[in-house]
Structure 1
Amino acid sequence: MKHSTQVSDSLGLGLLLTLSGGFMDAYSYLFRGKVFANAQTGNILLLGINIFEGQWENTIKYLIPVIAFSIGIAIADIVRRKLKERKSIHWRQIAIVTEAMILLLVGFLPQELNLVANSLISLVCGLQIESFKKIRGLGAATTMCVGNLRYATEWLCEYAYTKNQDAIEKGWLYLAVILFFVFGAIIGSICIKYLGQYSIFICSMILIVGFISMFYDKEKIMQSKQE
């Protein structure tokens, strides 16, 4: 499989972001009132059901995170357009450190402010899914699994018929991404049990590690080009 030299779509960073994606979804669902921070399909479904049932308080509970998710996507697009030519720091690094800072804020919000907390987490997920769209040159999502599961199955079926080694590598990559999402959810669940609302700080730390790793990966790419 041909690997991209883009710092932002390295395998290590992609798996870290996927780990954080699973963590955030577990945190918002288990600790913040059973709202999906990442999978807006679930929120939109529950939004429709609550509108039909006239449950207006719950309608707001699911509507605001969907709007926040869209705002996160828009912010990422604006940052990309404004800062993509900057040499000293990549615009995606600005996005990831912003995510980490927002999650730190979420950790200080009591459960009485779950709507605010879930909206901020959804905004972070919107930022992340728009900023990091690929892993090793392949389109992949780090905050949800439906598309990744589809691509994993397609590539594994391709290998079953053609025995193409590239196809099996791509299939395994998508399966690894899904597995790390599950790991993130498991780690999030464990942290919630012992740390409660402050467990989201762990997710923030994961993103900071990703931010730092982008400097390291950039240095490696520059060295390989010189060689």
Structure 2
Amino acid sequence: MINYDNPKIYQLRSIAVALTFCGGFIDAYTFIQRGGVLAAGQTGNIIFLSADIAKWNLPGALTKLATLVAFIAGIMVVEIINYWPHRSHYWRLMILIAELATCFIVGLLPKTVSNIFIVPFLSFVMAMQTTAFSQIEGQAYNNVFTTGNLKKAVSGITRFVFAGVSEQRIVGLTYMQLVLGFASGAITSAILQRIWAVKTIWVVVGILLIVGSYYGRLLFLRNRLWKKNRK
């Protein structure tokens, strides 16, 4: 049962898994449909950027560099909002709406549009997503790439099995669920792209609409409860 008085509603497992699914979905989408660039996986982009520089592939290098800069900017924006004392209770919801709108517009753009005008914008909103929704039930996690989640999943399960640390069982299974969510998103994206091509990203629009509506309703109920208790 959901505790509506909980100030950490954004950490709900259901929200975390859904956003991680979207993270895998979008990265697979941009890699296949938008020039082999990862919207969120900046480790891969730095490697691809280095390869493009070595090959004197200027257009490819510029796209990956712009994507990296956009990701950094997205993190900075959320950190600034997070420390702004007059921010709205709904600021995380606004980020989901911005991501939803971006994904919808990207689905309208044909492949003839240069990737430098597409992937960096996705990178920006994904950076905001992962920075704003950075915890699952009190544990730090990442919802747009999965290396850290995989490490924590394996570490938790190993400590439970071989060291008998009972609380690590839940930790390991939680992160493994996130890893599977990311992988499921990437696989689903790759399969659906065979049918819908660039419009496949509209699946994310639908998911974010559901997640945003759910999260927004929880925020509304929580804020109404707080106002009632203050009377």
Q: With structure 1 as the length reference, what TM-score do the two structures score?
A: 0.89
Distance 2:200 2:63 in 1: 22
Alpha-carbon offset, residue 59 of structure 1? 1.2
Query: Could you say if the C-alpha distance between residues 72 and 172 of structure 1 is closer, same or farther in structure 2, counting changes exceeding 3 Å?
Result: same
| Equivalent residue number for residue 195 of structure 2 | 194
- The answer as to 2:62 corresponding to 1:26 is no
| Equivalent residue number for residue 208 of structure 1 | 209
Alpha-carbon offset, residue 85 of structure 1? 4.3
| Equivalent residue number for residue 8 of structure 1 | 10
Alpha-carbon offset, residue 81 of structure 1? 3.3
- The answer as to 2:128 corresponding to 1:139 is no
User: Size of the alignment, in residue pairs?
Assistant: 221
Is residue 84–residue 91 contact of structure 1 (8 Å, CA) maintained in 2? no
Query: Could you say if the C-alpha distance between residues 107 and 125 of structure 1 is closer, same or farther in structure 2, counting changes exceeding 3 Å?
Result: same
Q: How do 1:30-109 and structure 2 match up within 5 A? A: 30-82=32-84, 85-86=87-88, 89-109=89-109
Q: Which runs of 5+ in 2 are unaligned?
A: none
Is residue 81–residue 87 contact of structure 2 (8 Å, CA) maintained in 1? no
Q: With structure 2 as the length reference, what TM-score do the two structures score?
A: 0.87
AA aligned to 1:103 is C
* Deviating more after overlay: 19-28 vs 195-204: 195-204
Is residue 20–residue 144 contact of structure 2 (8 Å, CA) maintained in 1? yes
Q: Deviations over 1:34-55 (max 9, x none)?
A: 1111111111111112222322
Q: How do 1:168-187 and structure 2 match up within 5 A? A: 168-187=169-188
Q: Deviations over 1:132-167 (max 9, x none)?
A: 111111010000011001111111122123323321
Q: Name the SS for the 2:83 alignment partner.
A: helix
Q: Deviations over 1:103-139 (max 9, x none)?
A: 1111111112222111111112111111111111101
* Deviating more after overlay: 138-147 vs 51-60: 51-60
Identity of aligned residues (%): 25
Alpha-carbon offset, residue 204 of structure 1? 1.5
Is residue 106–residue 120 contact of structure 1 (8 Å, CA) maintained in 2? no
Runs of 4+ in 1 over 4 A off after TM superposition: 220-223
Alpha-carbon offset, residue 82 of structure 1? 3.6
Q: Name the SS for the 1:59 alignment partner.
A: helix
Q: Deviations over 1:19-45 (max 9, x none)?
A: 110110111011111111111111111
